[in-house]
Amino acid sequence: MKNPGADILFYSDTLSSFDYGAGHPFKPARAKYFYELLNRFSLINEPGQMVLAPRKIDEELLLSFHTPEYIELLKRCDRGEYDLDMLRAGIGTGDNPVIRGMFEYSLLASGATHQGAMMLLENEARFVFNPHGGFHHAGMDTAEGFCYINDIAIAITSLLSHGKKVAYVDLDAHHGNGVQDAFYSDRRALTISLHETGKSLYPWTGFENETGTGEGEGFNVNLPFSPGTDDETYLDSFHRIVPPLITAFAPDVIFIEVGGDAHMDDPLTHMNLTSAAYKDSLGALKELCPRIIATGGGGYNVHKTAALWALAWATLCGIKPVDAFAGLVGGMMYGPEAQMGTLDDPPYSAAAADKKECRADAERVAEFIEKNIFPLHGIRAAS
Ligand SMILES: [Zn+2]
């Protein structure tokens, strides 16, 4: 029997300790809390799992997506230099500050994502998770949305150059604009982003009529949701649109960006999902392809994001979390008392009036995709 490959986690205390500066909402320490939860819930060091330390990406690979001029600016930024050219490239703003060590940090974070993708290619891995990756907003010559190097675009480009078809599914509350732009005219990558509508949230894009161009027409899919959307509405749309498209596309690899910021407790967004929406959608994706790579992404409630990633890891590895500390007096480490012993949230359903509005919007988007994109993939809508 062929070795199905291992479940690989990339983890680094050094990357978890990186600091965007006091007051910046992006906290790399989420990865550390996540790793601690894996230990607490007996989700790591199981047979078939491996934890690897990220290694720096080969700088040449950065140029498969970014311009040489932009990379030069990042290197200067890394030395603590600053000038107006950087500002034009989005570096040195409140969102994307000049930080000493940022380039080195990005080389390691993107190195893990790229190495993970190559391990899938070589059949050394079945599932890879890099909580330090997922910088889906970075453009070819711009930093934006806390993202400097687009590790996702680089890793997918490498998979495509090895003849693989990749389905990209972005669960972050923000539209995955950098990845959309990277593959907008490319039919070898099917990009699907589920997010809060650009009417109310950065990056103000990701509408359903952004469907790809030229050869890539119909291979870029956006599911924008209204503020306040809950699990039920979200999952109805997910199941109606995502599995049929991925099944028809038949990818060699699914790449998932698991931003934790679509959770109802996130301070920067307005989606109202619970852990159930993440678990259900990730469980469905697992059934669609034997090779999966996932990264972190957004998530500004650090402990909630850590819990969502632990659930994502468990779901995609196919193992059940067991709280080693449950029942121990004084054993609580994180979160409210009520969440002791479980990574799952209590159920939540939006109030009837809000739900009706969110549902009508989601319905309209799903109908648009069924009418305009499904036929390009030879899919007949179920409804
Ligand atoms: Zn986000």
Q: Position of tokens 């196919």?
A: 318
Ligand 1 centroid vs 134 CA: distance in angstroms?
Answer: 10
Q: Give ion ligand 1 contacts, CB < 5 A.
A: 172-174, 259, 261, 298
Per the structure, the count of domains in the chain is 1
Q: Which domain holds residue 217?
A: 6-333+348-377
Q: What is the mean pLDDT of residues 175-187?
A: 98
342 inside domain = no
338 inside domain = no
- Quick one: tokens of 92? 């040195």
Ligand 1 centroid vs 209 CA: distance in angstroms?
Answer: 21
pLDDT > 90? residue 325:
no
The pTM of this model reads 0.96
pLDDT tens for each residue of 70-127: 999 999 988 888 889 999 999 999 999 998 999 999 999 999 999 999 999 999 999 9
343 inside domain = no
CATH at 112: 3.40.800.20
- Quick one: tokens of 48? 């078939």
Residue 327: its pLDDT value, please? 63
CA 240, 246, 247, 253 torsion-angle sign: negative
Ligand 1 centroid vs 269 CA: distance in angstroms?
Answer: 8
Ligand 1 centroid vs 20 CA: distance in angstroms?
Answer: 16
Of 9, 3, 1, 2, nearest to 292 (Cα)?
A: 9
Residue 1: its pLDDT value, please? 39
Strand order in the sheet with 6-10: 49-52, 6-10, 125-130, 292-295, 253-257, 166-170, 189-196, 220-225
Split at pLDDT 50, 70, 90, the class of 20 is very high
pLDDT tens for each residue of 283-310: 999 999 999 999 999 999 999 999 999 9
174 inside domain = yes
Residues with a known catalytic role:
137
340 inside domain = no
383 inside domain = no
pLDDT tens for each residue of 268-281: 999 999 999 999 99
Ligand 1 centroid vs 309 CA: distance in angstroms?
Answer: 14
363 inside domain = yes
153 inside domain = yes
Split at pLDDT 50, 70, 90, the class of 328 is low
Residue 323: its pLDDT value, please? 85
